[in-house]
Amino acid sequence: MLHDLRISGARVVTADGVSEIDIGIKDGLISELSTDVGQAKRTLDASGLYALPGGIDSHVHISQPSGPGVVMADDFNSATLSALHGGNTTVLPFCLSESGQNLREAVDAYHAKARGNCHIDVSFHLIINQVDSQTLGQHLPALLEAGHTSFKVFMTYPEMRLTDREILDVMAVAKRHGAMVMVHAENEDAIDFLRDEAEHEGRIAPLHHATTRPIPVEREATHRAISLAEVAGVPLTIVHVSNGESLEEIRRARNRGSVVHAETCPQYLTLTAQDLDRSGFEGAKYVCSPPPRDSQNQDACWAGLEQGDFELYSSDHCPFVYDSSEGKKAAGAERTFRHIPNGIPGVETRLPILFSEGVNKGRIDIARFAELTATNHAKLYGLYPRKGVIAVGSDADITLWDPDKETTISQSMLHHGSDYTPWEGFSVTGWPVTTLLRGRLMIDQGELVDETRPGQHLVRGVPGNPV
Ligand code: URP
Ligand code: ZN
Ligand code: ZN
């Protein structure tokens, strides 16, 4: 066979381990993996580099409605460009209905926003914030059957949270259709109580976003979400787990036979609540939910990654401009932490942070890196084996990593729409230098070489089990 492209000389990370083989690519697919790949129209010399499956970030927020006067910093163009520069080839953003919009209309609107604007492939999770007979009986089943096979429910945020009964009703639909329920686990009533107390006592600085969302708030909701899933008889995914006590709830549930998947994010491995206490209003740059914790809980999250408790490592990219009345300063810097939009940018820095802090520091091996950043996302969310793995027949989504390249992260080098990065000045070793999307060379030696925005929408299958 005459391949379109041969990648030679790389250490290739496949499901079987790491081997020095060549990769043949034809018609956008991986056509051969061997030490003796046949003739190709072009050869890309990747000596000294790792070839990894293109990153899949299954937790990002793009162009999401964020409340009156607040505008998310990324549209599909800037978010997917930023993701691509960070070594990703697929992202899974959330689709949230604007007020007055039903779920079907919201999905159509997201498709319209994404179409023709994506540098990499996309597929949408749904957010269920309306539990009525039309949503549960018509729109949700139809959308699940059409390949939007996962959705998120919130136990916090006044305008999004569902009651336990509503969560159970939504889980019942997931059970009928084999869909994956993702849960944001924080107890809104407890947060509301603590927030009122803090404001009453004049504790209104950004730091108090963290002090009013302490670990028990997350631990209790994690336990309750798991219990509700056990009642409904469905697997579930707890997203953005920030601490050891919540992880302990997940371990206990697994020990009694429940199917619980877990995700953590770079902010819970590298940032702490002290970052929200930076001078002036700077702490707002770190306001996200759940909030970053402390070094002990960072260690617990690292242990969870090392021991396999976490199957997913995602960014929870949710970007706002800091210095803007449409962003972090929407309500004015003098107002209470309550009004600071929740979320931080991170889609471009997710992979280098784990490569550097995880692989290069010896906490995880390169095969586990591939699972945590691509393979498990594809398996859990119904994209495997088309995505997430370097295997014959899979899409040729491949990222070539220079394991020794030293970079100090700074806002000036990033491509997101935000005006800051929480990791300003953070040094990493290892960087994704060249990325192919379905065999197309997109980034070559760090430069965008294909500006055509060829990203496609992915219809997903039934969620699977990463293990
Ligand atoms: O603060 C965060 N994480 N914002 C994004 C929305 C969410 O809860 O994932
Ligand atoms: Zn969330
Ligand atoms: Zn999120």
Residue 458 has pLDDT above 90, yes or no: yes
Question: Residue 331's pLDDT is what?
Answer: 87
Q: How far apart are CA 244 and CA 292, in angstroms?
A: 12
Per-residue pLDDT of 386-395, as tens digits, reads: 999 999 999 9
Q: How far apart are CA 206 and CA 423, in angstroms?
A: 18
Residue 209 backbone class (left: φ over 0; alpha: ψ -120 to 50; beta: rest): alpha
Q: Which atom, in ligand 1's list, is nearest to the CA of 288? A: 1
CATH of domain 54-359: 3.20.20.140
Residue 334 has pLDDT above 80, yes or no: no
Read off the DSSP letter of residue 274.
Answer: G
Q: What number is the average pLDDT over the span 348-370?
A: 98
Q: Which atom, in ligand 1's list, is nearest to the CA of 152? A: 9
Torsion (CA) 70, 76, 82, 88 in degrees, nearest 10: 130
In the structure, ligand 2 is a single-atom ion and the residues with CB under 5 Å from it are 184
Q: Tell me how far the alpha carbon of residue 438 lies from the centroid of ligand 2, in angstroms.
A: 30
Q: What number is the average pLDDT over the span 239-257?
A: 98
Question: Residue 451's pLDDT is what?
Answer: 98
Residue 105 has pLDDT above 90, yes or no: yes
Tell me how far the alpha carbon of residue 277 is from its chain's centroid. Answer: 25
Q: Tell me how far the alpha carbon of residue 43 lies from the centroid of ligand 1, in angstroms.
A: 42
Q: Which residue has the tokens 């979400």?
A: 225
- Tell me which of 289, 315, 339 to substitute to probe ligand 1's pocket, judged by most ligand atoms within 8 Å of the beta carbon: 289
Which residue(s) pair with 184 in the sheet? 154
Q: What is the spatial order of strands in the sheet that 17-20 belongs to? A: 17-20, 11-14, 50-53, 398-408, 427-437, 440-444, 447-448
- pLDDT averaged over every residue in the chain: 97
Read off the DSSP letter of residue 41.
Answer: E
Ligand nearest to the CA of 93: 3
Q: What is the spatial order of strands in the sheet that 3-8 belongs to? A: 29-34, 22-26, 3-8, 40-45
Q: What number is the average pLDDT over the span 403-423?
A: 98
Helices marked H in 364-436: 366-370, 376-380
Q: How far apart are CA 126 and CA 321, in angstroms?
A: 25
Determine whether 280 is exposed, middle or buried from the number of CB atoms within 10 Å of its CB (0-12, 13-18, 19+): exposed
Question: Residue 467's pLDDT is what?
Answer: 76
Q: What does residue 131 show for φ and ψ, rounded to 5 degrees?
A: -115, 90
Residue 376 has pLDDT above 80, yes or no: yes
Q: Are 261 and 380 in contact (CB under 8 A)?
A: yes
User: What CATH topology corresponds to 3-52+394-448?
Assistant: Urease, subunit C; domain 1 (2.30.40)
Ligand nearest to the CA of 183: 2
Residue 154 has pLDDT above 80, yes or no: yes
Q: Tell me how far the alpha carbon of residue 288 lies from the centroid of ligand 2, in angstroms.
A: 9
Q: Tell me how far the alpha carbon of residue 156 lies from the centroid of ligand 2, in angstroms.
A: 8
Read off the DSSP letter of residue 358.
Answer: I
- Tell me which of 237, 288, 315 to substitute to probe ligand 1's pocket, judged by most ligand atoms within 8 Å of the beta carbon: 288
Residue 335's pLDDT band, with cuts at 50, 70 and 90, is: confident
Question: Residue 332's pLDDT is what?
Answer: 85
- Tell me which of 342, 347, 418 to substitute to probe ligand 1's pocket, judged by most ligand atoms within 8 Å of the beta carbon: 342
Q: Which atom, in ligand 1's list, is nearest to the CA of 61? A: 5
Q: Which atom, in ligand 1's list, is nearest to the CA of 239? A: 9
Query: H/E/C letters for each residue in 303-323?
Result: HHHHHCCCCEECCCECCCCCC
Per-residue pLDDT of 181-197, as tens digits, reads: 999 999 999 999 999 99
Domain extent listing, the chain: 3-52+394-448, 54-359
Query: What token pair was written down for 294?
Result: 């402390």
Read off the DSSP letter of residue 387.
Answer: S
Ligand nearest to the CA of 344: 1
Q: How far apart are CA 304 and CA 184, in angstroms?
A: 18
Q: Tell me how far the alpha carbon of residue 71 lies from the centroid of ligand 1, in angstroms.
A: 14
Pocket of ligand 1 (CB under 6 A): 61, 184, 240, 288-289, 316, 318, 342-343
Share of residues in the chain with pLDDT > 70 (%): 100
Q: Are 135 and 106 in contact (CB under 8 A)?
A: no
Share of residues in the chain with pLDDT > 90 (%): 97
